[in-house]
Structure 1
Amino acid sequence: MARSNKERTEATRLALIEAARRLFVEKGYAETATPDIVAEAGVTRGALYHHFEDKRALFRATLEREAEAVASHIEAVSIPAGSARAALLLGASAYFDAMAVPGRTRLLLLEAPAVLGFEAVSDIDRDNAEGTLKTGLAGLLGPGADAGKLEALTGLLSAAFDRAAIAIEAGADRKAYEDAIAALLDGLVRA
């Protein structure tokens, strides 16, 4: 059965994103050239520019796909939890699992801020896992939690999770970070 134009278009877009991901992980953004991406994807240069304005736009699409995968994994694992604390701890563990996918920490936490800048990376975070974190923290702090404080805590904890993922990727003890997150959450409840 022949594929529709929409299916072919999506398949080409996906092939470009997957090829770009492999090369961005292997070589880094700066060392990855668009001719290498199109060769890896098995498409023409015209196909690349039909789907993406430039290499930076392709990189952003690659990051958005990675961030969506992380968020989906966190949500799938943390939603069944019985309490806000349990959901946050399960979510933290799920985040570390998701970030253990080879290349993901490099792409999302090291390359992304350098290539796209803080604001663009923050937007990607807000559109994905950060919302789940904010919801969990709101549940932990209870009704009447100050909105400004909740926003600030979400940003701080999100940054702490990212820093932990970088350290774990570099060989740090994951359990120590999970225990530290539990202590932070328990401190928030006591405060």
Structure 2
Amino acid sequence: MQSEQASRSEPATSLRRLIDDSNALFSAVHVLLFCRRAVAKYRPGINQTRETMITQSERRIATIAAILDGARKLFASRGFAETSVDAIASEAGVAKGAVYHHFSSKEEIMDQLVDAVQADLAVEVRKAARRGKDLADSFSRGVLKYLLIATAPAAKRILFVDGPVVLGWERWRAIDDRHFSVLVRGALEAHLREQGMREGKVQAIGQLVAGALLESALVCATSDKPERAARDMTEGLMHLLGPLLG
């Protein structure tokens, strides 16, 4: 009899399990649909936030570029001392507060400008050097390009007149070494090592040549005829280096 009752209860138990499983499935589907609606509701906000972040980043880059471009024009024409932050803001088309938001001081602007001008200069020197027929010709072309561009009105005041005074020689030399001196010395010193010259002498010649280049640039920057001075300095330097580069 107990077996008969158990047999009759099995369908009921199975039905209850089916109902429970159906309820669980319904709840799961309900939760899934709720989550999908929630994601769909907030996704535009998420995308908008991303777009806003990109726009802000682009705006920041554009503002900094405008400030540096404006300062570059004014520093080259008026000089550092005669250029105010107000003038830079006006030239850049931004508020004075925007200048101080991105730069702590006018000196920081000069620091970044010297770095940028030197970087641009290094690119042009490399291009000129690649046209050389041999090492000596490449060296000569690179030096002449450096002196011509560095002492042009748009660059010489920033690089050789105000730059060293505002930044100090230590900082100025660090920037120059990173972009130009290492570039020129690298090719020369590599050549001297290939000739079997001892390392101490290689380093000494590299330092002497870097000093000669700096002095040449300073002479050209203060010359009444900078282009003629650049060519004379290049010819003189190559005359001295000829035996080493031959």
The percent of aligned pairs where both chains have the same amino acid is 24
Q: Is 1:157 aligned with 2:212?
A: yes
Q: Distance in 2 between matches of 1:48 and 1:67?
A: 22
For 2:225, what is the secondary structure of its paired residue?
coil
Rounded Cα–Cα distance in structure 2 between residues aligned with 1:5 and 1:150:
49
Cα distance in 2 between the residues matched to 1:184 and 1:10? 45
User: Which of 1 and 2 has higher RCO (CA within 8 Å, sep 6+)?
Assistant: 1
TM-score (norm 2): 0.69
Distance in 1 of aligned mates of 2:152 and 2:207: 28
Q: Does 1:166 align with 2:221?
A: yes
TM-score by length of 1: 0.87
* Higher share in helix: 2
Kept in 2, the 8 Å contact 1:84–1:139? The answer is: no
- 1:42 corresponding residue in structure 2: 93
Pick from 182, 186, 189 the counterpart of residue 138 of structure 1: 189
> Where in structure 1 are there 5+ consecutive unaligned residues?
none
SS in 2 for 1:170: coil
The residue correspondences of 1:11-26 to structure 2 (distance < 5 A) are: 11-26=62-77
Equivalences, count: 189
Residue 184, structure 1, aligned to residue 230, structure 2? no
Cα RMSD after superposing both structures? 2.3
> CA offset at residue 35 of structure 1?
0.8
Q: How does 1:94-133 map to 2 (within 5 A)?
A: 94-133=145-184
Match of 1:57 among 105, 108, 117: 108
- Structure 1's consecutive aligned runs of 4 or more residues displaced over 6 angstroms after TM superposition are none
**Are 2:81 and 1:30 equivalent residues in the alignment?**
yes
Q: Structure 1, residues 63-91: CA drift from partner, whole Å, max 9, x if none?
A: 11111111110011113434221111010
Whether contact under 8 Å (1:73, 1:94) holds in the other structure is yes
Larger radius of gyration: 2
Per-residue CA distance 1:29-72 (angstroms, 9 max, x = gap): 11111011101111112211121111000111111111111111
1:4 is paired with a residue whose SS is helix
